[in-house]
C-alpha cells in the first residue's frame, strides 16, 4: 500500500483505465470466440487458444495506447500545477469516454461482420457508408444482430459508470517528491509507447501479420483488435501503392498475359483484343444469368454437404454443363457482379463500379446489345447500393428493376423482396421482351441467402438455423424460376446460366477460405444442351461472358481476361481477397499476401504444410500467372482513366 501511495494520481488513473479497457476488449474477444468456436478443429491445442488471447492483449494495448497517449501527457503536465483543474478533468473524461465507446462499438460490430466475411473490420466495411440508411435498416431487421447490440449497451453503461468513479478519484494535489514522480511519469510514458509499438524489435512495430502464428486461420485472426485493422486499412488506403496494383512492370505483365491467351500480332492500342469467330451459324438464344448470393459449393450435396440445403440446384447441376472447379473473382457482391458481367478480376479493395467517372467496359451487356439483344437486370433491393444501377446503365443495361418497382407490400426487409417474388415479378417483363421479336439478356441478383433472412409463411424450412434455412429458401426460389419459365414459349430457346456472386467462409482451413471463392457454374438449357457433362477445367467468373458467346456462336471482339471454357484452357484460376490473392488448380493452392509472403498447399486433403520451399517452380508459375493478370487489368484501368484506352464500338 505504501508503494501504491507513491504512484502519482495520473499514473494510477491511467492504470485503472487500461485495466478496464483491456478487460472489455477481452470480453468482446471471448464473445467472438464462443460465437465462432466451431472453427476450432481437433488439431488446435489449448495453448494455441491461450496464445491467441495473449496476442489479443498486445493489440488491445496498442489501441489503448493511442487513445491514452495525449491525455496522459497533458494530465501529467497539469499535475505540476498543484491545484484542481476541473475543466481539464471534465474534458478528458468525455474524450476518453467517447473514444473508448466508439472503440467498443467497433468490437461489437466486428462480430457479425467476421461471421459474414471471415475477416476483421477493415476499410472494406466503410464502403457501405455511402448508404447508411440501407445498412442501418438491414441491421435493424436482422434479429441476430441485436444479440451483439444489447451486450454492447450493457457493457458501455458499466464502462461509463466505472470511468466516472475513476475520474472522481483524480486529485491534482501538490507533488511532494518531484524526482520520484518524474520517474513514474517516464516509466508510464515508456510503457505507453511500447504498448503502441507492440514489439521490442527495432525493425518493425506490430503489424496485422504479427497475429498469424498458427495453422488455424481463425486463431490467427482472433488476436487482432478490429479497431487496429480498421484504422490500419484506412490509413493504408491513402498510400499511393494501395491505390493501384503494382505487382510487376506493366509491359511484362501484358506480355505474359498475351502469351497465356495466345495473342499474336497484338494490337498496340488494345493489348487483349482477340477477334473471335465461329464456323457455324450464330444461335441467338435468350440468356438468363442468375447471380446467386453466397452460394458456395460447400453448401451443395454434390460437393460433400450432407444437410440437403440445395436439392434443386444439385439436381439441376446434372442436367447441363457443370463446371465443378469454378471460383469467384473476389469476396463481395460488387466483385461478383463486375467480374461475371465484364470478365475482369477483382483488384484487392478497389471498387470498379464506384468510380465517380464511370468507365465503359467491353462486357456482356454492350456486346449482346450490339448484336440486337434487349438487356435487363433484376435485383431484389435498392439499385443505388454499390452504384450498380448507374454503372450498368452506363454500360448498356437498358432496363434496371429494383426495389421501387415492386409493390410496397412485397418488400419484406432492407434487401427488398424475396427471391421467388422477384422471379415471379419478372415473368411479364420477360414476356414483353420476347414479344418484341428479338432475343433478350436478363440478369438476376438474388439476396435470400444473406441476412436479414426472411422466410415467407408458405415456405417450411427443414433446418432451424436461419443461415441454412436461408440457403434452402434460395434453392426453393431457383426451382420456382424454372417452374415459372418452363411454361413460357421462349423457354426452349433460352440458355440459363447459374453462378454465385461469391461463396461463404465455411471451410476455413487456410487464411483464404477456399469455400469463400469456390462457386457453382452451370449452363442449363434442356432443349439446347442434350448431352449434360461435368467439366473439371479450372474456371472463373471472368470466363462466364466469353463462354456464353461461345455457346451462342456470336462473333465478337474479346478485350477481356476471360476465356471460352469450351475452346480454351487456363492452367490456374486466381481470385482476390481484400489484402491477398489466391491461385488454384486441381492440386495446388497458393496464398500470397500483401507483405510479399506466400504459401503453397495441397488443399484437396486440407494439408496445412507449406510446400512453397519444396516446390518453388510451382509457386513461381502460379504467382506470376496471377500477378500478370491482375497487373494487366490495372494497366487497362489506368488507360481508361487517362483516356488512352477506349473500347471499340
pLDDT tens sequence across 323-375? 999 999 999 999 999 999 999 999 988 888 876 567 889 999 999 999 999 99
Q: What is the pTM of this model?
A: 0.87
User: Residue holding cell 494510477?
Assistant: 12
Quickly state the pLDDT bin for 550 (edges 50, 70, 90). very high
Question: Residue 75: what are its φ and ψ, rounded to 5°?
Answer: -65, -35
pLDDT greater than 90 at residue 305: yes
Q: How far apart are CA 157 and CA 153, in angstroms?
A: 6
Q: Looking at the predicted structure, is the pLDDT value of residue 641 above 60?
A: no
Task: Quote the CA–CA distance of 633 and 630 in Å, as a whole number.
Answer: 5
pLDDT top residue among 285 and 245: 285
**Each residue of 414-450: pLDDT tens digit?**
999 999 999 999 999 999 999 999 999 999 999 999 9
Residue 23 cell numbers, joined: 478487460
Model confidence at 386, pLDDT cuts 50, 70, 90, reads: confident
Q: Determine contact, residues 374/441, Cβ cutoff 8 Å.
A: yes
- pLDDT per residue as tens digits for the range 122-166: 887 776 666 677 777 777 777 777 777 888 999 999 999 999 999
- Please report the pLDDT score of residue 643 as a whole number: 46
pLDDT value, residue 174 = 66
- The per-residue pLDDT for range 257-304, each reduced to its tens digit, is 999 999 998 888 899 999 999 999 999 999 999 999 999 999 999 999
C-beta separation of 573 from 562 below 8 A: no
Residue 649 has pLDDT above 50, yes or no: no
pLDDT for res 358: 76
Of the listed ranges 188-202, 337-351, 451-465, the least confidently predicted one is 188-202
- Quote the cell numbers at residue 102: 466508439
Task: Name the fold adopted by 284-610.
Answer: Alkaline Phosphatase, subunit A (3.40.720)
Judged against a pLDDT cut of 90, whether residue 500 lies above it is answered with yes
What pLDDT sits at residue 647?
42
Which pLDDT score, from 0 to 100, does residue 5 have?
A: 67
How many residues does this entry show for the chain?
649
Which residue is associated with the grid cell 469476396? Answer: 331
Distances (CA, A) of 271 to 246, 268, 406: 18, 6, 43
Average pLDDT (476-497) is 98
Q: Where are the domains of the chain?
A: 2-238, 284-610
d(CA 559, CA 574): 19
Query: Percent of the chain having pLDDT more than 70?
Result: 94
pLDDT over 80 (residue 522): yes
Q: Are 327 and 540 in contact (CB under 8 A)?
A: yes
- Kindly indicate the confidence band of residue 646, based on its pLDDT and cuts at 50, 70 and 90: very low
522-539 average pLDDT score: 97
CA distance 418 to 426: 13
* Residue-by-residue DSSP string for 418-441: -HHHHHHHHHHHHHHHHHTTS-EE
Amino acid at each position: 500500500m505504501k508503494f501504491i501511495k507513491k504512484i502519482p494520481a495520473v499514473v494510477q488513473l491511467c492504470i485503472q483505465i487500461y485495466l478496464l479497457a483491456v478487460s472489455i476488449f477481452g470480453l468482446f474477444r471471448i464473445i467472438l470466440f464462443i460465437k465462432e468456436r466451431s472453427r476450432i478443429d481437433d488439431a488446435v491445442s489449448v495453448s494455441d487458444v491461450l496464445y491467441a488471447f495473449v496476442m489479443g492483449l498486445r493489440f488491445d494495448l496498442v489501441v489503448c495506447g493511442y487513445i491514452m497517449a495525449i491525455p496522459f501527457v497533458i494530465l501529467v503536465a497539469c499535475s505540476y500545477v498543484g491545484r484542481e483543474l476541473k475543466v481539464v478533468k471534465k474534458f478528458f473524461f468525455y474524450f476518453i469516454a467517447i473514444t473508448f465507446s466508439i472503440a467498443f462499438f467497433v468490437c461489437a460490430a466486428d462480430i457479425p461482420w467476421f461471421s459474414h466475411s471471415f475477416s476483421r473490420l477493415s476499410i472494406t466495411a466503410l464502403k457501405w457508408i455511402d448508404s447508411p440508411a440501407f445498412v442501418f435498416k438491414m441491421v435493424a431487421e436482422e434479429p441476430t444482430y441485436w444479440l451483439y447490440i444489447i451486450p454492447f449497451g450493457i457493457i458501455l453503461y458499466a464502462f461509463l459508470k466505472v470511468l466516472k468513479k475513476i475520474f472522481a478519484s483524480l486529485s491534482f494535489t501538490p507533488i511532494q517528491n518531484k524526482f520520484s514522480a518524474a520517474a513514474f511519469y517516464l516509466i508510464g510514458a515508456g510503457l505507453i509507447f511500447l504498448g503502441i509499438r507492440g514489439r521490442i524489435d527495432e525493425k518493425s512495430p506490430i503489424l496485422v501479420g504479427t497475429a498469424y502464428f498458427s495453422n488455424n486461420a481463425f486463431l490467427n485472426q482472433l488476436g487482432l483488435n478490429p479497431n487496429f485493422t480498421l484504422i490500419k486499412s484506412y490509413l493504408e488506403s491513402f498510400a499511393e501503392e494501395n491505390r493501384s496494383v503494382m505487382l510487376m512492370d506493366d509491359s511484362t505483365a501484358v506480355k505474359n498475359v498475351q502469351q497465356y491467351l495466345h495473342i499474336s500480332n497484338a494490337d498496340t492500342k488494345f493489348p487483349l483484343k482477340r477477334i473471335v469467330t465461329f464456323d457455324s451459324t450464330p444461335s441467338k438464344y435468350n440468356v438468363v444469368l442468375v447471380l446467386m448470393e453466397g452460394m458456395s459449393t460447400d453448401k451443395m450435396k454434390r460437393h460433400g454437404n450432407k444437410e440437403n440445403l440445395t436439392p434443386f440446384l444439385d439436381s439441376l447441376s446434372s442436367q447441363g454443363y457443370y463446371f465443378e472447379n469454378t471460383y469467384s473473382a473476389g469476396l463481395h457482391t460488387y466483385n461478383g457482379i463486375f467480374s461475371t458481367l465484364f470478365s475482369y478480376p477483382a483488384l484487392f479493395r478497389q471498387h470498379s463500379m464506384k468510380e465517380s467517372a464511370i468507365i465503359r467496359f467491353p462486357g456482356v451487356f454492350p456486346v449482346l446489345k450490339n448484336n440486337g439483344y434487349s438487356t435487363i437486370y433484376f435485383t431484389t433491393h435498392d439499385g443505388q447500393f454499390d452504384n450498380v444501377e448507374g454503372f450498368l446503365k452506363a454500360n448498356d443495361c437498358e432496363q434496371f428493376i429494383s426495389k421501387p418497382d415492386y409493390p410496397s407490400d412485397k418488400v419484406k426487409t432492407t434487401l427488398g423482396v424475396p427471391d421467388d417474388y422477384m422471379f415471379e415479378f419478372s415473368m411479364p417483363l420477360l414476356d414483353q421482351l420476347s414479344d418484341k421479336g428479338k432475343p433478350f439478356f436478363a440478369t438476376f441478383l438474388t439476396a435470400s441467402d444473406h441476412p436479414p433472412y426472411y422466410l415467407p409463411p408458405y415456405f417450411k424450412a427443414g433446418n432451424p438455423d436461419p443461415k441454412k434455412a436461408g440457403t434452402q429458401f434460395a434453392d426453393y426460389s431457383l426451382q420456382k424460376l424454372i417452374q415459372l419459365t418452363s411454361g413460357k414459349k421462349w423457354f426452349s430457346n433460352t440458355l440459363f446460366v447459374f453462378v454465385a456472386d461469391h461463396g461463404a467462409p465455411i471451410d476455413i482451413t487456410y487464411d483464404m477460405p477456399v469455400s469463400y471463392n469456390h462457386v457453382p457454374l452451370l449452363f442449363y438449357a434442356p432443349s439446347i444442351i442434350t448431352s449434360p457433362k461435368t467439366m473439371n477445367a479450372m474456371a472463373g467468373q471472368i470466363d462466364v461472358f466469353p463462354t456464353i458467346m461461345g455457346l451462342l456462336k456470336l462473333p465478337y471482339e474479346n478485350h477481356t481476361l476471360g476465356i471460352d471454357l469450351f475452346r480454351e484452357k487456363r492452367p490456374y484460376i486466381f481470385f482476390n481477397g481484400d489484402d491477398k490473392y489466391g491461385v488454384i488448380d486441381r492440386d495446388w493452392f497458393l496464398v500470397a499476401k500483401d507483405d510479399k509472403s506466400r504459401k503453397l498447399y495441397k488443399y484437396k486433403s486440407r494439408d496445412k504444410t507449406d510446400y512453397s520451399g519444396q516446390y518453388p517452380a510451382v509457386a513461381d508459375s502460379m504467382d506470376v500467372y496471377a500477378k500478370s493478370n491482375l497487373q494487366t487489368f490495372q494497366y487497362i484501368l489506368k488507360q481508361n482513366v487517362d483516356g488512352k484506352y477506349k473500347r471499340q464500338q
